[in-house]
Amino acid sequence: MGHFPCFSRRFPLRLFVWSSDDERAGESVSIENQKRILEDYARKNGFTNIRHFTDNGIRGTTFKRPGLDAMLEEIRAGNVATVIIKDQSRIGRDVVEVGLLKRTFDEYHVRFIAANDNLDTANGFDIMSIFRDVINEWYVADTSRKIKTVFKSRMEKGLRCSGSVCYGYRASKEEKGEWIIDEEAAAVVRRIFQSVLAGETIASIAKALRAEKIPIPSEHWKRTGEPVRAAKYADPYAWSATTIGYILKRPEYTGRKVLGKTVCENYKTKSTRKTTPEEQHVFEGAIPAIVDEETWRTVQKIRETVRRAPKRQNAPNRLTGLLYCADCGSKLTHRYNLVQGKWIEDAFVCSGYRQLTHDCTIHYIPTAKIEAAILAVIQRVSWYVRHNEKEFTERVREASDQNQEKTVKECKQKISKAQKRHKELEGLVKKLYEGNATGKIPDKHFTRLLNEYDEEQTELETSIAEWQRQIENWNADRLKTDQFIQLVKRYTDFSELTTPMLNEFIEKVVVHEGEGRGNDRRQRIDIYLNFIGAFEVPEYIVTPAEVEEQRRQHEEQAAKEARSKELAKARYEKRKAEKREFTARKKAGLLTPEELEAEENRLAHNREWQKEWREKRKASEPEKPPKQKSIKELMAVEKTGADLTPEETERLAAYRRKKADQQRARREGKKSDQPKRKVS
């Protein structure tokens, strides 16, 4: 910067002071000391007309400060001759921003003095000021790095770095950094989770909480004397969907301590980002749980699916997100329409049906039928679990072993092979470095081979982690049978499919395309239960619910058939009475011309139809063979001397032989009946 003359006699003098060291209410001791030091300096050097600009408790990396902005306005207005600070760090700890401020001072001919650093622009350019600015910024960067290191070390040990407490808990006064359950707030948290399981929307939950005058988290903390985050709010009962959504996604309610969920990317801007699960520090069971793990997971699965309420309904269908297409794997979409103004269509179809990207078949299934099928499966499996728990456990584990044992064995073989290859690559990389160091391998080939080896190692590490996860999941699946048994025992009534039952029991439902039409239509449905998958109860098991359902269906079918017969009989009697009445009026000559014309047309149409029917029947019947001549006719033809066909000659000869045999038999019978004569 160039030399600046002092305009203290022509313009009012301005004095700027800034500090972030504030450990008590009001101005800090540091601010008071700086004011005293600068006033002494101004008095000794003959500066008068002093005004202080102060920013108390604001970071040195921030340049949006009220005091600084006010001073710059005065400088641009031409009301400042000299700016004096205690040292250069007080104006800021950012080399670029401090340089821009100095350029502003230069532009408006303002003298700049840092008392403790012996910097005075009136004495000419001081190159050391640049190094001081760099050192000041390095100090902030180094402090930020040290703080991050301390925070990371604490989080690795399970120690918190923040004093904020999740709604439903409060900080323990006995153990620093530990949480204990706030029963009043925890009851609200449990209610919110159970409401989601019951199929309620976030908006309806918030509306119910507002109606019951339940305080929002900030108001609750204020009433209980806890630290309040949002100090300003208009309505203490104004629950919002954002607040409830934030509560529902917190893993802490399952007793899981999660540290390092955000990280500061830039110490200057204090911009933060959400960390990945791999970067976080998770400690299971470190805090008391408010909701169980499965309830939390079920709620997360429910909230992952976007649900929209149909036009004629207030709430979305509870099956949305659970039904999948067996052919394309897409989710089924709920359709709820008024068809031709007559009946309501309440059914699910494949979301890939008639789409531009992939065209799948419709996979149409009514909502009532799929709910009935789900309820039947839950009833059947639950009854089997209650009455055959040991057999159920053995069957589930046997099925799990048969389905996954081969896969786990393959995973273990792949892990062993991948680990062996990973170790080989480490040796190759070591030899590669040695070859490059001795000059045997050029830098070009070294870089290419090193990148290839590094990429292969990364892929192997990812694959090993995935295979290991599959093995761990298999081991965990073997323990889920007990969880399903506990779930069954929690319910006492399975007569109706409730929304909580649906969400807790059903993992997914795979719907196949139907075959046939009308009453002959058949459709396969695969229902996967939580913890145990698509479990099938032995066919010989018949539950009381199924017996009752069969009885009910038989009764309904019998009642339906009886009703159909009654209706048919009533229609027949009605038609018969109408026909008798019409016939009587016709005989009495009381028909109108229109009725006579309609009757003639009907009779003509019937005669025409009967004629066509006889002709069609005659045409469809096979031709009859010609009628054979009787024996009498054959004898008459023979007497005339006409020739007979071989068949006719044979028939006539056979007839005569038959007659001759009959006469012979009669003669012999008469002869045997006569008494024998005695010879004298």
**Residue 297 confidence (pLDDT) above 50:** yes
Q: Please tell me the least confidently modeled range out of 20-29, 402-411, 477-486, 511-520.
A: 20-29
pLDDT band of residue 540 (cuts 50, 70, 90) is confident
**Residue 247 confidence (pLDDT) above 90:** yes
What is the model's pLDDT at position 201? 87
What is the model's pLDDT at position 554? 93
**Residue 340 confidence (pLDDT) above 60:** yes
Average pLDDT of every residue of the chain: 83
Section 468-488 average pLDDT:
74
What is the model's pLDDT at position 568? 94
Share of the chain above pLDDT 70, in %: 90
What is the model's pLDDT at position 211? 94
Section 252-264 average pLDDT:
87
What is the model's pLDDT at position 5? 29
What is the model's pLDDT at position 192? 95
**Residue 7 confidence (pLDDT) above 80:** no
Quick: pLDDT tens for 560-616. Answer: 999 999 999 999 999 999 999 999 998 888 889 999 999 999 999 999 999 999 998
pLDDT band of residue 404 (cuts 50, 70, 90) is low
Token duo for residue 642: 């006409």
Distance CA 171, CA 370 (A): 48
Query: CA angle 375-376-379, nearest 5°?
Result: 85
Q: 3-class DSSP state for residue 605?
A: helix
Total residues found in the chain within this entry: 680
Calculate the CA dihedral of residues 18, 23, 26, 28 and round it to 10 degrees: -40
**Residue 459 confidence (pLDDT) above 70:** yes
Residues 6+ apart with CB under 8 A from 662: none
Quick: pLDDT tens for 356-373. Answer: 777 789 999 999 999 999
Q: To which CATH superfamily is domain 15-153 assigned?
A: Resolvase, N-terminal catalytic domain (3.40.50.1390)
Q: Please tell me the least confidently modeled range out of 20-24, 133-137, 241-245, 428-432.
A: 20-24
Section 518-536 average pLDDT:
89
What is the model's pLDDT at position 607? 93
Distance CA 262, CA 568 (A): 75
Domain boundaries, the chain: 15-153, 158-304, 364-541, 549-604
Pairing status of strand 272-274 against strand 119-120: unpaired
- Residue corresponding to tokens 């006699």: 9
pLDDT band of residue 230 (cuts 50, 70, 90) is low
What is the model's pLDDT at position 478? 56
Is 158 or 83 the better-scoring residue by pLDDT?
A: 83
Is 308 or 66 the better-scoring residue by pLDDT?
A: 66
Q: Bridge-partner residues for 325, per DSSP?
A: 511
What is the model's pLDDT at position 405? 65
Q: Which fold has domain 158-304?
A: Hect, E3 ligase catalytic domain fold (3.90.1750)
Quick: pLDDT tens for 604-652. Answer: 999 999 999 999 888 888 777 777 888 888 888 888 888 888 888 898 8
pLDDT band of residue 476 (cuts 50, 70, 90) is low
Section 265-292 average pLDDT:
83
pTM over 0.75: no
Section 478-504 average pLDDT:
85
What is the model's pLDDT at position 1? 30
- The alpha carbon dihedral of 103, 106, 108, 110 has a sign of positive
What is the model's pLDDT at position 208? 93
Quick: pLDDT tens for 185-211. Answer: 999 999 999 999 888 889 899 999 999
Query: Could you tell me the CA-to-CA distances from 170 to 66, 166, 193, 486 in Å, in that order?
Result: 36, 8, 20, 31
What is the model's pLDDT at position 269? 67
Quick: pLDDT tens for 416-444. Answer: 888 888 888 888 888 877 787 777 888 88
